[in-house]
């Protein structure tokens, strides 16, 4: 093998390693951005639902069911014990706390865990 061919081979290997590293990084960034966007949608919904359910004086069990249903639609793994609903009417408060794993591509092993917490209370805007 000539010296020129070996340099070309080394450069090709280094290029492939950089491409692999970039793909790994973009996969992690993609998972993080998707989790953050889903969380923002859930937060917007929580603010909406606390106003509507507070005005309508809906029971806490129904409010929890609405939150869990929306989380399921957004494909967020949220259990009933992670949603706390307290108060009634104008004192309604919703607290949500959950974790999302950011997984390594191909192996799907968790390498980062993001914790999301929300506390939303009824605000009388009128």
The structure tokens 């009417």 sit at 89
Q: Which two tokens stand for residue 6?
A: 């070996």
Number of domains in the chain: 1
Does residue 33 belong to any structural domain of this protein?
yes
- Whole-model pTM: value is 0.84
Residue 124 pLDDT exceeds 80: no
94 and 108 Cβ atoms separated by less than 8 Å: no
Does residue 21 belong to any structural domain of this protein?
yes
pLDDT tens-digit profile of 58-82? 999 999 999 999 999 999 999 999 9
67 and 49 Cβ atoms separated by less than 8 Å: yes
Residue 75 burial by Cβ neighbours in a 10 Å radius (0-12, 13-18, 19+): exposed
pLDDT at 110: 87
pLDDT tens-digit profile of 73-106? 999 999 999 999 999 989 999 999 999 999 888 8
Does residue 126 belong to any structural domain of this protein?
no
Does residue 62 belong to any structural domain of this protein?
yes
Domain limits for position 117:
3-121
Rg (CA), the chain: 23
């Amino acid at each position: 093998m000539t010296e020129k061919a070996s340099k070309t081979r080394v450069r090709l290997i280094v290029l492939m390693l950089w491409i692999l590293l970039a793909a790994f990084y973009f996969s992690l960034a993609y998972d993080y951005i998707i989790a953050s966007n889903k969380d923002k949608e859930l937060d917007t919904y929580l603010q909406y639902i606390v106003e509507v359910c507070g005005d309508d004086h809906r029971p806490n069990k129904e409010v929890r069911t609405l939150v869990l249903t929306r989380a399921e639609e957004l494909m967020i793994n949220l259990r009933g014990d992670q949603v706390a609903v307290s108060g009634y009417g104008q004192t309604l408060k919703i607290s949500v706390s959950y974790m999302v794993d950011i997984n390594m591509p191909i192996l799907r092993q968790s390498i980062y865990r993001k914790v999301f917490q929300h506390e939303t209370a009824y605000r009388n805007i009128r």
